[in-house]
Structure 1
């Protein structure tokens, strides 16, 4: 009976040890994956207002709450999509029966924005500067733009 218990316990122990070894190797892989993803996130977020302490300080020194200001700036840019006729910022005409609209906006810092636009057939990107005037008005200035070639 003791021999049976010993053999059975040894087999269970070896099985658990094998499983533990597999889990440890998976854990190492996962930690490596997380590390790579963290590095990617840091690289992608380098030009990002949310992570730029100097740009955040610039706005906070002027009395703005950054968590409210970023959505406000984006919303004001998206509101330009609702203007009748040609888009006031996108310098390209839309294809027939369509409208150029800004789709994605990224605030790089306290002065620069990049955005993409499309009418569903043609698409491109724009580089803008922006400022908040002393009268608390938001002004956008188109600096650079391009339209991807249509294939």
Structure 2
């Protein structure tokens, strides 16, 4: 009788072990399938984000005179082109660099030669961003320009910021 009891206990334990093994294996396979599907979704989303980022890099800047149709219309009414305005304003800004003590549009005192305008970026039909430096310090200006007539363009500093490499 004892032998039969041990035999039944052994068979019962073996069945429980087999059930646990099969359930564990099925659970592991379902988890692996979930991981594989999540990895695939993640790769698809990364590819989508990369394509969106690439598309954004291909787009031109929004704040440029070339992309601003209202500004172009404004210049057409005056009989000017945006290229002509850019050239005339840039020339006038660079001519002001020849002033003794630096460009008078820059409201800061430069060391040595004074501040000189280096680069410009036109925002619209009224504003231009200007980069300036004196070889030790640099900064940016927001300059408002107004076309008075064929020969005259007035320039006025609206805002200025100075960056110092030693601060």
Q: TM-score w.r.t. structure 2 length?
A: 0.63
Q: Give the whole-Å Cα distance in 2 for the aligned partners of 1:89 and 1:127.
A: 10
1:118 corresponds to 2:146: no
> How far does residue 51 in structure 1 lie from its aligned partner after superposition?
1.2
Describe the shift of the 1:71–1:98 C-alpha distance in structure 2 as closer, same or farther (beyond 3 A).
same
Change (3 A) 1:138 1:37: farther
Question: Partner residue of 1:99?
Answer: 114
Greater helix share, structure number: 2
What 5-or-longer segments of structure 1 have no aligned partner? 1-31
CA deviation after TM superposition for structure 1 residue 134, in Å: 4.1
Q: Is 1:39 aligned with 2:46?
A: no
Alignment deviations for residues 88-144 of structure 1 (CA, whole Å, 9 cap, x no partner): 10111111x322111111110000111111000011111111101146410011111
- In the alignment, which of 157, 162, 165 is matched to residue 142 of structure 1? 157
Equivalenced residue count is 121
Q: Secondary structure at the match of 1:148?
A: strand
1:77 Cα deviation from its structure 2 partner: 0.9
Aligned to 1:13: none
How large is the RMSD of aligned CA atoms in angstroms? Answer: 2.5
In structure 1, the partner of 2:103 is: 87
In structure 1, what is the equivalent of residue 75 of structure 2?
59
Q: 1:71: which partner in 2?
A: 87
Query: Which is higher, the Rg of structure 1 or of structure 2?
Result: 2
Gapped regions of structure 2 (runs ≥ 5) = 1-48
> TM-score if structure 1 supplies the norm length?
0.69
